[in-house]
Structure 1
């Protein structure tokens, strides 16, 4: 993996400040500790930090075409680069290296913007064509690799793999985006294409920017080149699934096993990582290196299940047990993620990346299986609610269940069947609104109760409901399960899962590859009928069935644990004072985002064990940390 940066002006007389570009690029030195390189031209500057994985001796970037008129800086891997290179060589292109990066410049020469359809992998790149005076900026289809950009007051555009790169530029905005606060408190992250800063954006997954010098572009607009095949009505048959699923998964794993450095895999003990290790072991002549972490609390420890897979495939298994009070990383999270980020599994993810880097430079991961094959419990709950929603018209449901949801108390202490507040609210909504309500860190009513009147005024009636609404714009789903899976791909996968893994791995100079997020595998598997994925209370049913010959039964059919930490206990015990201090500090209260009395009530209810507000309070704490760090700038 690597880090990329850039400065571009539509005016070719614009002088690139090389010292500033180097400062921007070096802000992400952790992404590429092995090398750095620059291209400086008329109105354009590109920067690169390299973590060497393929073509260790010849992969220095920027990489150029034959006559040095096209330059590219690239973060990621193109897993089919050998096939593309062979095709391009047959067309007369001359390669100087064996690097997958060089494939990009020749593919651009041959196919222009359509070159992106040739690439299979995870990537973000910035390409400059000096002949055409064009800049081509691309992010991969599933958003595995990040890219940020901002158009500045002088008309120039800056780019960077991480937000901290852009913030080195004196003209980059430091103004907090109020809508991003609303989105963050809903999702636990700032969903693409927003960032926490006004006028600073993430390039969304499956989009590119095509900028030309000499044109007057006041507002640059990304172009979408790929989307999940949501509109398909063609479902896979049982025979197609039986004959192809394992083979397609194995092929997605195989193309990700090329490396000139040590390679291994994460192994959590769950279905997806077990599947990846099984495929790797069957494809490799040597034992696979696997890495697992666990907690010293049985309820949060799944190392015994990881051991089952490790023993079956005789892997070189590395295990590290983490103290359940390992919260020393909390203060580093803002520096790692640059924005408020509330997925508490970022802590164990950081630790497993730290462990893996001791033994390998590249690790394969099982991320993406729950979203593709409907493994989350929230999918089952949503579909159970949807059965009732489908029987009662919205015009009736909305007033009846809306009132019941408003009046019904929050009963965290009660048996599960009595904890119905969120369910009652969701029954009075459309399918997508209900899904947003059920998976929110803080529901709409909770956010509005916490907001101050002045912040509500600043929001100008904006609601994070618009994130889902925009994702679904122009689309219609006959299958409500496919609809919410699609929404997770547009928000959760890119904003939470891929962000978590990218930043945690890059903090250690570790490259993580994700076979289940191979776009060809996703396109195919998304056609598996929902009736095969969700069978009664069994999520990922068909995937598990296909894996029975490859992964131990106990790994496939045990209760899903997840990669979690004892958050509720932390916030009532060792983190209680830290939480209180952060959420009552002068810096936090001076933002006037919240009604402080309501915040204090939330804290007291959690500490007294009246309610479990751990998800809400952790989300607020991570925002508080971000605000504290902003004050220190």
Structure 2
């Protein structure tokens, strides 16, 4: 994996010092090599983590004539077959590596070429003859790509990470609508970011940028969509096809040149990948697990370590297993480090075990790590996907029995009475609109109430079963902008490449099209995947129910962390005070914390730490910037520099 960035200018020369700073800020993504290409109107920067053909594959890539240049982050798993077919059409290769095919595919297929790639990628291609730039992101959004288009100055900058891109933005301003989405989902959905005019490229999408007269013109093109058709298969046929597709996805991802291991919880998804390794490779799989020490106050909480489960599963499979126990103090001391590693506010505590896992595996010498991300969203692994089944049962009850249920379970039955867009904001949803109104300052709420956003309304036919719409929403929003964004950033923070066989697009297209009852039922989750993995796993593993990544954050926030977090959130100098009412927050966090209040506290703390870092960076880098950009862009925004600097 790598880091890429670039500048496209209209009337001025490329700012080479800026390009070097942007590229240097991506060093953790690519510690092995740095390179640049600068031409008329264009500058490309690149940092490399060498995995494929390590002695070659130097970027930027180019075609034979040199007028097409490419920088690329990711892996193209079908590059050998692509080179063979392109070679038969007269293309010549000399640089080596998987990304070398990109320029030649563009020559053959134009802007539709990303549809021919099998892999994970974020790329930039410059066509010097046509003076056009193409940015593209892989189908599922495994690799991130951000861009900022300044139409008034006719320039554009892009980067693999927001921290690199922000070097090219004088005064980033908080987008209030994106802030509101963050409180709904615990992340900011694409194409938005927390900052006005800075965008994330959506998965399965290309951005084509060129000139119309003297001005830059940009248009988005979708080259891939989730299938909407269903397959008419028996369970046995579905199991066989899932088995074949998963084996193929694992095989094509296995690296031959560098060490590779497995993130391992001992659950179905991670154990399934390790079991495929044990079947196919002579050397045993190397597996890694972390757990957290028992919180001091645990009367009302489960034990939070999955080490015992992972240890038992590793013994059954015969892997070479390593584990680490992380203390509360270590988490507390490095909490801001983890939050900032994610590069944008993502209020998901599972970033903690992932961060320490990535550090643990990288320190052991791994360059590539396999992980089970995507299996739950694809095959219906989360418990919440069974809620529509419960809703339908409740609504089918006689009136008198529903009245009894409402008296016994008022909160749950009230939720059952809501429509799906009213009650579901993704598997990680935080606050519905009615929960947020009293938290905002009046001026902020006045602006927000005239806007509405809910991706669920746009993701599929309203006549589809609710479970199908939920799965689709999470595949297109929660998965790329929370789960995968988090996984990419925390592994790249340790120069570790993550590979995700469950998100091979061939397997995804199959899984999405399978009958719904093969995935979600009253009895169990991921039925078809469990059946496919029976041939490789002991019964103790494939029958095990779904467990989340256990993180004792709620327990810590009830005790050791509570006052420290509130000091940051409720400090009069805190940047979030520009948007939220102190009295409402103080009241919300008085007394015992509900699970929702604990998640909200985590989200606000994450946001304040992140905004504090951004303010600190801007002040240290440029001093107080001028207002020229804000005047040129001509809209309100919320300047990051209008609030005092405050670190959490």
- Assess same fold via TM > 0.5: yes
The 2-side partners of 1:115 and 1:437 are apart by 32
The 2-side partners of 1:216 and 1:425 are apart by 57
Deviation, structure 1 residue 142: 0.2
Q: Is the 8 A contact 2:569 2:576 kept in 1?
A: no
Deviation, structure 1 residue 28: 1.3
The 2-side partners of 1:276 and 1:202 are apart by 30
Q: Secondary structure at the match of 2:332?
A: coil
Structure 1 window deviating more from structure 2 (112-121 vs 537-546): it is 537-546
Q: Is the 8 A contact 1:77 1:123 kept in 2?
A: yes
Structure 1 window deviating more from structure 2 (254-263 vs 303-312): it is 303-312
Q: Is the 8 A contact 1:386 1:431 kept in 2?
A: no
What is aligned with 1:532?
A: 518
Q: Secondary structure at the match of 1:621?
A: helix
Compared with structure 1, are the counterparts of its residues 40 and 250 closer, same or farther at alpha carbon in structure 2 (3 Å cutoff)? same
Deviation, structure 1 residue 425: 4.3
Deviations 1:431-461 (A, max 9, x none): 2332228852123222112122121013142
Deviation, structure 1 residue 115: 1.3
Q: Does 1:364 align with 2:370?
A: yes
Q: TM-score, normalised by structure 1?
A: 0.90
The 2-side partners of 1:580 and 1:468 are apart by 33
Q: Is the 8 A contact 1:353 1:505 kept in 2?
A: yes
The 2-side partners of 1:85 and 1:611 are apart by 53
Q: Is the 8 A contact 1:432 1:484 kept in 2?
A: no
Q: CA RMSD in A?
A: 2.4
What is aligned with 1:385?
A: 391
Deviation, structure 1 residue 213: 3.7
- Once the two structures are superposed, the pairs formed by residues 12-411 of structure 1 within 5 Å of their partners are 13-152=11-150, 153-171=152-170, 173-215=171-213, 220-229=218-227, 231-297=228-294, 299-325=303-329, 326-358=331-363, 359-388=365-394
What is aligned with 1:411?
A: none
Unaligned residue ranges in structure 1 (runs of 5+)? 393-399, 409-416
Deviation, structure 1 residue 19: 1.2
Structure 1 window deviating more from structure 2 (218-227 vs 536-545): it is 218-227
The 2-side partners of 1:303 and 1:590 are apart by 37
Compared with structure 1, are the counterparts of its residues 426 and 223 closer, same or farther at alpha carbon in structure 2 (3 Å cutoff)? farther
The 2-side partners of 1:319 and 1:576 are apart by 29
Structure 1 window deviating more from structure 2 (611-620 vs 497-506): it is 611-620
The 2-side partners of 1:4 and 1:318 are apart by 33
| Aligned partner of 2:607 among 623, 629, 632 | 623
Q: Does 1:469 align with 2:457?
A: yes
Q: Is the 8 A contact 1:454 1:592 kept in 2?
A: no
Q: Secondary structure at the match of 1:128?
A: strand
Compared with structure 1, are the counterparts of its residues 73 and 483 closer, same or farther at alpha carbon in structure 2 (3 Å cutoff)? same
Compared with structure 1, are the counterparts of its residues 346 and 278 closer, same or farther at alpha carbon in structure 2 (3 Å cutoff)? same
Deviation, structure 1 residue 626: 2.3
What is aligned with 1:413?
A: none
Deviations 1:463-515 (A, max 9, x none): 343x333444xx45523211110000111001110011001000000000100
| Aligned partner of 2:416 among 424, 427, 435 | 427
Compared with structure 1, are the counterparts of its residues 15 and 258 closer, same or farther at alpha carbon in structure 2 (3 Å cutoff)? same
What is aligned with 2:559?
A: 573
Deviations 1:513-532 (A, max 9, x none): 10001111000111221112
Q: Secondary structure at the match of 1:339?
A: coil
Unaligned residue ranges in structure 2 (runs of 5+)? 295-301, 619-648
Compared with structure 1, are the counterparts of its residues 217 and 536 closer, same or farther at alpha carbon in structure 2 (3 Å cutoff)? farther
The 2-side partners of 1:450 and 1:440 are apart by 17
The 2-side partners of 1:559 and 1:299 are apart by 17
Q: Secondary structure at the match of 2:325?
A: strand
What is aligned with 1:395?
A: none
Q: Does 1:605 align with 2:591?
A: yes
Deviations 1:28-51 (A, max 9, x none): 111111111111011111110111
Structure 1 window deviating more from structure 2 (429-438 vs 72-81): it is 429-438
The 2-side partners of 1:70 and 1:611 are apart by 53
Deviation, structure 1 residue 311: 2.4
Q: Is the 8 A contact 2:209 2:219 kept in 1?
A: no
What is aligned with 1:412?
A: none
Q: Secondary structure at the match of 1:76?
A: strand
Q: Is the 8 A contact 1:266 1:273 kept in 2?
A: yes
Structure 1 window deviating more from structure 2 (442-451 vs 200-209): it is 442-451
The 1-side partners of 2:16 and 2:427 are apart by 49
Q: Is the 8 A contact 2:73 2:123 kept in 1?
A: yes
Deviation, structure 1 residue 170: 4.3
